[in-house]
Amino acid sequence: MTTDGVFAQRGHHSLWDISAPGRSGVQLPDSDVPEQPMPNASLLREELRLPEVSELDVVRHYTRLAQKNFSVDTNFYPLGSCTMKYNPKINDMVASQPGFSGIHPLQPEETVQGALELMYRLQRDLQSITGMPAGSLAPLAGAHGELAGVLMIKAYHEARGEPHRKVMLIPDSAHGTNPASASMGGFEVVTLPSDINGILDIAAVEAAANDRLAGLMITIPNTLGLFNPNIAHICEIVHSAGGLVYGDGANMNALLGRARPYDLGFDVVHLNLHKTTSTPHGGGGPGAGPVCVGERLARYLPSPVVEMVEDTEGAQYRFATPTNSIGAMSAGHGNFGVLVRAYTYLRALGADGLRQASGDAVLNANYLRRKLEHAYRVAVDRTCMHEVVFTGRSQREKGVKALDISKRMIDYGVHPPTMYFPLIVEEALMVEPTETESKETLDAFIEVMTTIAREVDESPELLHEAPHVTPVGRLDEARAARQPDLRWQAP
């Protein structure tokens, strides 16, 4: 093998491949206390086969891995429903100050008043955005917030002596986390159909509104990127049957300063702070999923919530547990590092800035809809909110799948959109451009998508074999599932 070959191959090496016994990437000081007797050897372990690498090995390994990722910092990333907006660097800078990153969750409250005040302010601001009178920052991700929400709904019905309310209605366009969360809360999931416009069918809600109804989980705007103009009426139907309405806030980026879930009739809504308030997604987390609620559910909020009390020394902040709390969602107080970033983002924009952000997000999606509707059919032909769902149905008829189109986008340096979701759209391509993308980026994207549409007719094999430029090609995912190789093993 040539020297070039040796180095070219290194990108594929695992940490164990570059490991050598006796090497270390860290030095630790000697003990500065008198030596203490060690425990009985029967309690001590013998073997620990972690890789042994130098500090430079670690840096090169992870730098090379990083270079194999698309990210918002490197590529346009229009992944629908994931709201991949720019993550301002100031957010990370603020969160990494020792006064935030270095404090222990169980320090006495008097020693962490700054952190508590930040949480109090964020809680208040999120309540303002959603219109809700109460909230808790405790849930650690959107789906965690969903779980908190359904548990509150359950606690509410039980407290009212109606434990038989077991049915949770969920539209067929919903995120998969909705039914999974409802199931974890002990509910029976009933799926509701959408009408031909992709909007929840009111008649279906009416038909399901009986004394077994616990609630409705609904995403607003929905996963087709559409705002349901009947939403307030739907909330009334659910309420008059004795149920509550859960708002999946994953798409809240479209509504900032434009509509408040509380006004529409929602009883609880979670917010994905990593989406709406621009905290980095980190390859799949951390997120944060605070819940905001109406009066009916305030006493059931997960613990803790942050309270302010005024005394002679001024405002003091402390943790509190609502009277009928569903309990703790985690051992801590929420993903505080994410909360700091979210608060910093909200302060950077203010009310007018948020309103402009949602306006630009919606403008961008509609601009793409107009410019691409001839090349790819729009799933539902009407004004969309912050995301637009195309269907590759006509391309499919020519033997090219949404998957092929997505993989070809990679060759042009664009991260593929969300594919095959929502489930009710054939060959779905869900594009979410977000407000931080410039017109120049959108125009370049339009050109890429138009080119690909032409390639479908002229050279479909380019799409079938795409991507062509990545470190690996299409992976054998069937083999990954059939013969699971989930960890390194000693040869």
CB of 191 to other proteins, least distance (A): 9
To the nearest 10°, report the CA torsion of 187, 216, 284, 488.
20
Distance CA 86, CA 361 (A): 12
Distance CA 335, CA 446 (A): 37
Query: Token match 């006493």: residue?
Result: 299
226 touches other proteins by CB under 8 A: yes
Strands 213-219 and 244-249: parallel
6 touches other proteins by CB under 8 A: no
14 touches other proteins by CB under 8 A: yes
Name which position in 3, 4, 6, 36 contacts other proteins (CB under 8 A).
Answer: 36
164 touches other proteins by CB under 8 A: no
CB of 443 to other proteins, least distance (A): 10
Of the pair 5, 284, the CB lying nearest other proteins is at 284
DSSP string, 135-147: EE---SSHHHHHH
Name which position in 135, 149, 185, 294 contacts other proteins (CB under 8 A).
Answer: 185
Name which position in 67, 210, 451, 459 contacts other proteins (CB under 8 A).
Answer: 67
421 touches other proteins by CB under 8 A: yes
194 touches other proteins by CB under 8 A: no
Of the pair 37, 240, the CB lying nearest other proteins is at 37
User: 215 by DSSP, 3-state: which?
Assistant: strand
Could you say which residues in the range 96-115 bind other proteins, by CB under 8 A? 96-108, 110-115
Q: Return the exposure string of 399-420: e unless at least 16 CB atoms fall within 10 Å of the residue's CB, then b.
A: ebbbbbbbbbbbbbebbbbbbb
DSSP string, 354-386: HHHHHHHHHHHHHHHHHHHTTTSEESS-S--SS
1 touches other proteins by CB under 8 A: no
Of the pair 163, 399, the CB lying nearest other proteins is at 163
Question: What amino acid occupies position 47?
Answer: E
Could you say which residues in the range 319-348 bind other proteins, by CB under 8 A? 326-338, 340, 343-344, 346-348
CB of 257 to other proteins, least distance (A): 5
Q: How many CA atoms lie within 13 A of 310 on its CB side?
A: 0
Could you say which residues in the range 265-294 bind other proteins, by CB under 8 A? 272, 274, 278, 280-288
DSSP string, 267-328: SEEEE-HHHHT----TTT------EEE-GGGGGGPPBPEEEEEEETTEEEEEEE--TT---B
316 touches other proteins by CB under 8 A: no
Per-residue x/- mask for other proteins, residues 362 to 381, rule CB under 8 A?
Answer: xxx-xx-xxx----------
Distance CA 113, CA 250 (A): 31
418 touches other proteins by CB under 8 A: yes
Of the pair 114, 457, the CB lying nearest other proteins is at 114
- Stretch touching other proteins by CB under 8 A, among 204-212, 235-243, 252-260, 389-397: 252-260
Of the pair 160, 397, the CB lying nearest other proteins is at 160
User: 446 by DSSP, 3-state: which?
Assistant: helix
CB of 453 to other proteins, least distance (A): 18
DSSP code, position 418: E
- Stretch touching other proteins by CB under 8 A, among 207-215, 393-401, 455-463, 466-474: 466-474
Asked if 215 contacts 169 with a C-beta cutoff of 8 angstroms, the reply is yes
Could you say which residues in the range 383-402 bind other proteins, by CB under 8 A? 383, 385
CB of 157 to other proteins, least distance (A): 11
